[in-house]
Amino acid sequence: MNGKTHKWLLKSLGSLTLASAVVLLPLILTGCGGDSASSVVPVPPPPPPPPPPAPTPTPAPTPTPAPTPTPTPASLIVVSPTSIPNATASSVKTINVKLAQDPSGIKTVTVTGPTGWSISPASLTFDSSNFNVNQPVQFTAPLTAVGQTQNITFSGTGLGSVDVPVTVTPVPNTFFLDPVNGSDSNPGTAAAPWKTFEGVLKVGADPYQSKLVPLLQQGENVTIQVVAPAPVTQSLTAALGTTVPGGSITIVGPTNYKLSIPAGNTLTLNENVKLEGFSIEVKGNNDITINKSSASINNATIRCKPPAGNTCINVNAANVKLSGNKITFDVQTTAVAIQKPGVIIKDSEFKSDGSNTAGNSTRAIDTAAAGTTVLNSKFDLSSVNAGGGPDTTAIVLNAGSSSAVVKGNKILVAGDAPNSFGVLAAAGTGHLVQDNEFKASVNNVGVGIKLGVPIANFVNDISNGNSFPQPPNLAQNVQ
């Protein structure tokens, strides 16, 4: 390289940046014929510029969690208590009912329970003003439910339902009777029961005299629980008509225990003697006679088989209440004859047995007293379809009757022309016959309401206040 070139090179390099000069110098020297390898020490290339810093990422916003929905309860009906493990039979217990939230309208809660239990009221009404206010429901379990656990159910449209299990416990002073394995010399406990019906209800007999009379004289109420795992029948060996000296005796048993009353061995129920739940077979005239208002038969199954022209049950006391009985009675007999005022028969069933009524009337209830009340019962007289003789009637309002109340019953009229009637009003004034259903068992046979008195003797419109569904048709609804 000559001197001129050297000067030019220095001048040129002076105008370059250091980085550019480092890159260009080897090229220039080579182009000028110089030996770059021997005359110039190569300069290593500069390190690559550092990469620009990565931008700091913007954190994604934390999503707000959706609110957890409040679960809808299986039932909006709230009851207290939720179970009753010790409801004493025949005592009144209370369950309080309300709603868990505003129903936004009027809602009805229906209350249902086992057959034979008394429950009131049968329904409750809630709205925005009272949904969270307790409403009471009261119930009474019968003696026949002792030892059982049953449900009382509360339900409503859009409200769900809830069951309250109730375990029924014995009342105090409960003794036991086992007609198969018992002995009247036993103490009467569940492990060592008594044996005979007469032993617990006959003056002078034990255990009645030695074990029960002392309690009764103190005004105690005594319950005799019959135990019968298998069907068994006991018969009265003589007439029985004990009057207890105080308190009461209730004999309660299952339907497979049958008390048979032979003709002539009348069972007379006097003050505070009560029968409940078991089966009774009656073979003679008036073989069950109720002589006191505090005596009763409830929830029993009764088979009436007295001779033709006779009566099975004779109610000879005022204000007797008979409830929940199922009575089957022979054709040409009367199931229940009422002699005194104020008798109430309700929630019962009457069914005739036999077809030919020639010779004697066939009647479920025949009253000759004021104020007889028959409520919510069923009558089936359809077995009677021949004979053409005296009347076959569910309810007879006879001479001496007045102000009877016959309401809410269902009557299947017999099919024997021409004297098959639902209600026969033979006498009396002030009767109310309302909200009953009269139905024929044979087309064009029978009369729903037979008048032996002017229609003005009724306090209601009997033609429009009752129903007469068809087919089959009655011969006359009202005659």
Is residue 341 in some structural domain? yes
322 and 462 together in one domain: yes
- Residue in 440, 458, 428 with CA at minimum distance from that of residue 394: 440
21 and 139 together in one domain: no
439 and 334 together in one domain: yes
- For residue 81, is the peptide bond before it cis, meaning its omega torsion is within 30 degrees of 0? yes
- Residue in 337, 326, 464, 345 with CA at minimum distance from that of residue 393: 337
Tokens linked to 315: 């109610």
- Give 78-104 as a 3 state SS string: EEECCCEEEEECCCEEEEEEEECCCCC
Is residue 43 in some structural domain? no
How many structural domains does the chain have? 3
341 and 436 together in one domain: yes
Please tell me the predicted confidence (pLDDT) of residue 196.
Answer: 94
Is residue 212 in some structural domain? no
356 and 456 together in one domain: yes
Q: What is the pLDDT of residues 18-44, one digit of tens each?
A: 444 444 444 444 444 444 333 444 555
In angstroms, the CA 58 to CA 195 distance is: 93
356 and 426 together in one domain: yes
27 and 85 together in one domain: no
Q: What is the pLDDT of residues 141-187, one digit of tens each?
A: 987 788 899 999 999 999 999 999 999 987 778 999 999 999 999 99
29 and 82 together in one domain: no
What's the domain range around 12?
Answer: 3-34
Q: What is the pLDDT of residues 391-448, one digit of tens each?
A: 999 999 999 999 999 999 999 999 999 999 999 999 999 999 999 999 999 999 999 9
Please tell me the predicted confidence (pLDDT) of residue 74.
Answer: 77
Is residue 58 in some structural domain? no
Q: Which amino acid is at 464?
A: N
12 and 111 together in one domain: no
In angstroms, the CA 181 to CA 396 distance is: 45
Average pLDDT, the chain: 88
